[in-house]
Amino acid sequence: MAKVVDEESVGDLEERMESEESGASEHALVQCATFYALVGGAEAWRAQSMAERVLQMSPNHRQARTLLGWIELGGGSGGGDGDDEWDDDLGVASPGGAQDAERARLERAERHFNEALQGATKGDRELEALMGHAKILETAGELAQAVEVLNDVTAHFAWFVPALAEKARVQVIPHPDPSTLNPKP
């Protein structure tokens, strides 16, 4: 870190960043929002803001819709605790209204993923939306349906090895009736 911060230069750079952001294309905004979502921290709210702005410009933008689903799944803008273990805590009941807030957040995420997948053909489906849909099903305890979605992902996106890892992870989750984990063809 610099010992003396050049406030004028920092201000100029912030103004330029705002100027560039205001004239950015949909694709550039989605990429920037993805960056902010992945980095997290104090500026994470910008990811949601940018993705929502893309949806104002193009309401059917699947990548922006999918990103909003993942932002909600990860805790929303500013709602997460910054912990990388967020997916282990999604289904845990908490006292007071926190459980209702969690349920509402998951419903918003599910709505975003479903809207991203709506109207897409099998070959034109959004990979990240499918993975988000599988995560929602897993969180809801619908493990057989989650495995089915992950089977669909591995069939249509054979190059995407993380889907196989997720499928294996979901299949080893303790389940009251293990026979339901292998969906019937």
Q: What pLDDT shows up at residue 40?
A: 85
Q: What pLDDT shows up at residue 77?
A: 57
Q: What pLDDT shows up at residue 101?
A: 86
**Which is more confidently placed, 176 or 168?**
168
CATH 1.25.40.10 for domain 10-181, yes or no, is: yes
- Terminal C-alpha separation, the chain: 59
Task: Calculate Rg over the CA atoms of the chain.
Answer: 19
Mean predicted lDDT score pLDDT of the chain? 83
Whole-model pTM: value is 0.75
Which pair of structure tokens corresponds to residue 184?
Answer: 């019937």
C-beta neighbour count of 52 within 10 angstroms? 16
Q: Is the pLDDT of residue 145 over 80?
A: yes
3-state secondary structure 39-107: HCHHHCHHHHHHHHHHHHHCCCCHHHHHHHHHHHHCCCCCCCCCCCCHHHCCCCCCCCCHHHHHHHHHH
Q: What pLDDT shows up at residue 124?
A: 66
* Residue indicated by tokens 């209204």: 97
Q: What pLDDT shows up at residue 110?
A: 95
Alpha-carbon distance 140 to 118, whole Å?
Answer: 21
Q: What pLDDT shows up at residue 14?
A: 84
Q: What pLDDT shows up at residue 91?
A: 47
Alpha-carbon distance 38 to 47, whole Å?
Answer: 9
Percent of the chain with pLDDT over 90: 51
182 pLDDT band (50/70/90 cuts)? Answer: low
3-state secondary structure 9-23: HHHHHHHHHHHHHHC
Alpha-carbon distance 51 to 34, whole Å?
Answer: 9
Alpha-carbon distance 181 to 164, whole Å?
Answer: 15
C-beta neighbour count of 47 within 10 angstroms? 25
Kindly list the domain boundaries of the chain, sorted by start residue.
Answer: 10-181
| Cα 60–chain centre separation | 17
